[in-house]
Chain A
Amino acid sequence: MTTDSVHAGGDPRRLLSEVHALAHRVRLDQRVTFFALLVLALVTFLAIPVDWLSLRADCGSPSSWVEVGENSRACHIHRQGAMFYWPPALLLAYGAIGWYAVRTARARGLGTRVLPYALTGVGLTVLFTAVWLWARWYLSAHPVPTEPFPEWVMVLDRLVAPAGTIGVALLVLARLERNVALLVFTLGYLALVLLPLNDLVHLHWGYGDIYGAFLPQQIFQGLVLLLGGIGFAIARRRQR
């Protein structure tokens, strides 16, 4: 850049291209993509032992089994640990991401644009906690459904579960950072979250294969976030 004034005889194309390059530079300097993904991967991995240790399956008595559809039965599973783990863990994660973004941006001499992302994350955390509490109240006040839920209900259920809300909030981050790579990554992650992976990969882990019903999905989701975080960190180092 020079101090020359650009008048009608100047090149508007070059001026506009410089404007775009400067805007892009600022956005790159403001991005905290890798940190957000690494924190969310950590939270996802920490959920695995919490789930493992707190999962309770009541399949010991004939009365605990219910008929589900034709020739199929299910027993009661309690995931109390997940209920107490995810809301505070995600609130802390979004707090940490917001704090890191503000600290990093200030150190570089910039404002930050991550606040709407952190607020969306907090809002979605409150939403899924409310949905969980409502489902708990509903199931305690009504008989256990004997027919499987329609597929759209299951997709919605996965979307408002912690992993789903992480993906939705990441879409907001991709928009705020104008980050196409993060958008593509998040769409892939959401596809993984919404896919009934347990129907495809069901490991025979734990009593009645119950652990095998939850763990593969959590491991895959954590791995995807971790690899994404590492990938974005490497890309950032190359760009700087």
Chain B
Amino acid sequence: MTAAAGTPEAHPVTGLDDVVHQRVRLGILTITHEARRVEFGYLRTQLALTAGNLSQHLGVLETAGLVEVEKGYAGKRGRTWITLTAAGDTALAEEIGRLKQLIARVETTDRTSATEER
């Protein structure tokens, strides 16, 4: 994990969390947040991953306490359900906030460079 930015002047990149700032894991958190509870198969289809790859990413998120994985049965078929923890909810909100800050900063820099070139 990267240390959170403590001052308003700090660049948004310094506050990024390596666990969350990864495309697949961010996708897992986003889907789980919207769905409230999501089945392993739905995540695999939407993210176009193999079962092994998805399991690896879920393991990272579970170890970080961002998701809870629950195994059960629907009839005779085994099902794995994933839910977002409160920490996962916060981490997702912070990541999206950082991304927006980054975009805003990049746009400001671009505008300043364009003005200076003129």
Binding site for B on A (CB under 8 A): 1-8, 12-13, 15-16, 18-19, 22-23, 25-27, 30, 105-106, 108-113
Contacts and interface: CB of A to CB of B under 8 A. Distances in A.
A27 B36 CA distance: 11
Contacts of A3: 22-24, 49, 53, 57
Interface string B72-112: 00100000000100000000000010011011001000000
Contacts of A12: 99, 102-103, 106
A226 to B, nearest CB: 30
Interface of B: 13, 16, 18, 21-24, 26-27, 30-31, 33-42, 46-49, 53, 57, 74, 83, 96, 99-100, 102-103, 106
Contact of B36 (A23, A25, A108, A113): A113
B27 A110 contact: no
A6 B21 contact: yes
Contacts of B42: 108-110
A1 B38 contact: no
B31 A15 contact: no
Among the interface residues A2, A6, A12, A25, which one has the most CB atoms of the partner chain B within 10 A? A12
A1 B34 contact: no
A110 B24 contact: no
B35 A26 contact: yes
A30 B36 CA distance: 11
Contact of B39 (A7, A16, A25, A110): A110
A7 B49 CA distance: 21
A2 to B, nearest CB: 6
Contacts of B22: 3-6
A124 B35 CA distance: 26
5 contacts: A2-B24, A5-B18, A30-B34, A106-B74, A109-B42
B38 A110 contact: yes
A13 B101 CA distance: 11
Contact of B31 (A4, A7, A26, A112): A26
B91 to A, nearest CB: 13
B23 A15 contact: yes
Contact of A5 (B21, B47, B74, B99): B21
Given A1-B23, A26-B31, A16 B96 contact: yes
A6 B31 contact: no
Contacts of A6: 21-23
A109 B39 contact: yes
Given A26-B35, A109-B42, A1 B103 contact: no
Given A23-B34, A26-B31, A16 B99 contact: yes
Nearest to B45: A109
A106 B36 CA distance: 12
A113 B33 CA distance: 11
Given A3-B53, A12-B103, A110-B42, A19 B26 contact: yes
Nearest to B29: A19
A91 B91 CA distance: 39
Nearest to A14: B23
Contacts of A112: 36
